[in-house]
Structure 1
């Protein structure tokens, strides 16, 4: 049985499940991992975290030193976290960007992501494992933006959707877009690999230096493979897309979803996420070592500072790429059309 957030909060302390929110920093076509230096990048992203984010993100840069603010609740977290952006495709073929909502107790946040760092499964009250924090210059990518089938998407585990019937819905999870109107929106969850090779802070595809467990899963305590022996905390993003305003519009007659990722994926299987580490000093390791659950508790136990939602919302970045991403669009920014896996439609 899945435990509720209240149950987790009341559980006995051990090591940390760190959960906190980051408001939106900027929405535009920049991607310093997949399209470094390109202005614009191929498709629209929504980025949260430190305001040192830019098109190149050289790994030698000191993100905490170069940032003047962060949209994240932990004041020492100048990392950058980003995902693609969701659009609604109307029956006349036009596209409209789907806004985001602040997750759970962060309703007044300016959209953004809820971030988790975990030693063990979120429903494991013990959180007994010792995990290593990432190092400066570390970055990684999860997912496959070319995936259009369940088989192709299965190579990246646990990238899922929840059709939210209530504001606290967290199940059932699917790997494709929901195909019915969701009363409280659609939540996407992206869970990153948890085994590191212990040497490389990055790799050409931003994935090879990381691995899933050799057997089992992170949740089942599966061991890391010999090629990637260092167990790190699982990074997970939750994003709530406010699809409520589209529920009364005409949906496809064939029962498919009307939603499309900003890179054209109309199946949902191509969802992906990017991560660039930027915590100040040993702040993340202190949090991971603290006997705590979630944001306020972990801040107290690790001697960390939390920002108010107002302070998070006040950190933003000027858009570099001047283009319309919010109007009724005939084509997605970057020239993409809805791709259902059997040719463009």
Structure 2
């Protein structure tokens, strides 16, 4: 299809939806079909939500994600996508590690394992009009955001929309940072991952799982910056919110003697700059596009929803592929990682 025809086709139907929903935990283990397809186990532990066809391979050329899933841990019953991030650990003063549990967002209490809250947005989160025209992702689409090797602010600058919020209560949303919070957080630490919003209009994936996507060429998604000419197709912004219950680890006697923060990602990053997330599209048919074409804010007429109890029934339905202890007090992180800061 010619470029101009493609872009006009995507811009033909204005959209005005913002959806926000919770997903219960599906599984926690060392699998990563996006970055390490077929590798069992993958290098580090992830927490995954979504459709239960998740496995080590998930080849987009042969796999029908919604067709092969029998359930989803997400609130939208036709969303069999998979969303995942690394897992957060606490490093005690004696050098051992303990997995930090997750909390569901306010209003979604009871979601098994805490899971995560997922957004699809056309405009800034707090703009209830949501008037921009965007296109739903297509079958086979997938993407990655972040730099697992970033250990300082300069290295993480490309992904300025991956942030942390030190929560004093369930409603705290201000003072975001790009590194781990330096002080104890009374309620927990929330990680927010905002994926790029500009697509090249051709590739459903790329070798690095990022090059087919881009952030706006100026400003940010929130400021309505235009897409670059290389990535002219505007898509909705996928955003994850994950709340880590760090309140259980706020005893200063267990923190490092120098007072530095004690949390570390499952791949060993102790700075927080290596934050990253993975996304594999799996909405059934045109269900996502129909929602995006509906004028709605969070609750969308016609969307098929399931209760938290129904979501929880799908939790744990994926056969365990890697048998190892990820929850006890560990001398090293699963995969042999240790905390590093450079």
TM-score interval (norm. to shorter): over 0.9
The equivalent of 2:106 in structure 1 is 104
The equivalent of 2:80 in structure 1 is 78
User: Does the alignment pair 1:113 with 2:116?
Assistant: yes
Return the alpha-carbon distance in structure 1 between the equivalents of residues 121 and 30 of structure 2. Answer: 30
The answer on whether the counterparts of 1:203 and 1:209 sit within 8 Å (CA) in structure 2 is yes
The equivalent of 2:223 in structure 1 is 220
Shift of 1:318: 2.5
The equivalent of 2:7 in structure 1 is none
CA deviation vs aligned residue, 1:47-96 (integer Å, no higher than 9, x gap): 00000000011112111110010000000000000000000000110000
The equivalent of 1:65 in structure 2 is 67
The equivalent of 2:340 in structure 1 is 339
The equivalent of 1:5 in structure 2 is none
Specify which of 154, 170, 181 is matched with residue 157 of structure 2.
154
Alignment of 1:171-320 (within 5 A): 171-248=174-251, 249-294=253-298, 297-298=299-300, 300=301, 303-315=302-314, 316=316, 317-320=318-321
CA deviation vs aligned residue, 1:277-326 (integer Å, no higher than 9, x gap): 000011111111111111xx21x2xx111110011111022321000101
Return the alpha-carbon distance in structure 1 between the equivalents of residues 156 and 141 of structure 2. Answer: 24
What TM-score comes out, normalization by structure 2 length? Answer: 0.93
CA deviation vs aligned residue, 1:89-143 (integer Å, no higher than 9, x gap): 0011000000101111111101111000000001123211010000000000000
3-state DSSP class of the match of 2:158? coil
The equivalent of 1:44 in structure 2 is 45
The answer on whether the counterparts of 1:143 and 1:159 sit within 8 Å (CA) in structure 2 is yes
Which consecutive unaligned segments of at least 5 residues does structure 2 have? 1-14
Runs of 4+ in structure 1 deviating by more than 6 angstroms, as ranges, are none
Which consecutive unaligned segments of at least 5 residues does structure 1 have? 1-13
User: Does the alignment pair 1:133 with 2:136?
Assistant: yes
The answer on whether the counterparts of 1:27 and 1:319 sit within 8 Å (CA) in structure 2 is no
The answer on whether the counterparts of 1:50 and 1:79 sit within 8 Å (CA) in structure 2 is yes
Return the alpha-carbon distance in structure 1 between the equivalents of residues 153 and 313 of structure 2. Answer: 40
The equivalent of 1:92 in structure 2 is 94
Deviates more, 1:254-263 or 1:201-210: 254-263
RMSD: 0.9
The answer on whether the counterparts of 2:128 and 2:297 sit within 8 Å (CA) in structure 1 is no
The answer on whether the counterparts of 1:182 and 1:244 sit within 8 Å (CA) in structure 2 is yes
Return the alpha-carbon distance in structure 2 between the equivalents of residues 156 and 281 of structure 1. Answer: 31
What TM-score comes out, normalization by structure 1 length? Answer: 0.92
Return the alpha-carbon distance in structure 2 between the equivalents of residues 190 and 144 of structure 1. Answer: 12
Shift of 1:20: 0.3
Question: How many equivalent pairs are there?
Answer: 323
The answer on whether the counterparts of 1:130 and 1:289 sit within 8 Å (CA) in structure 2 is no
Shift of 1:24: 0.4
The equivalent of 2:8 in structure 1 is none
The answer on whether the counterparts of 2:165 and 2:172 sit within 8 Å (CA) in structure 1 is yes
The equivalent of 2:125 in structure 1 is 122
The answer on whether the counterparts of 2:134 and 2:234 sit within 8 Å (CA) in structure 1 is yes
Return the alpha-carbon distance in structure 2 between the equivalents of residues 125 and 68 of structure 1. Answer: 34
The equivalent of 1:9 in structure 2 is none
Deviates more, 1:125-134 or 1:234-243: 125-134
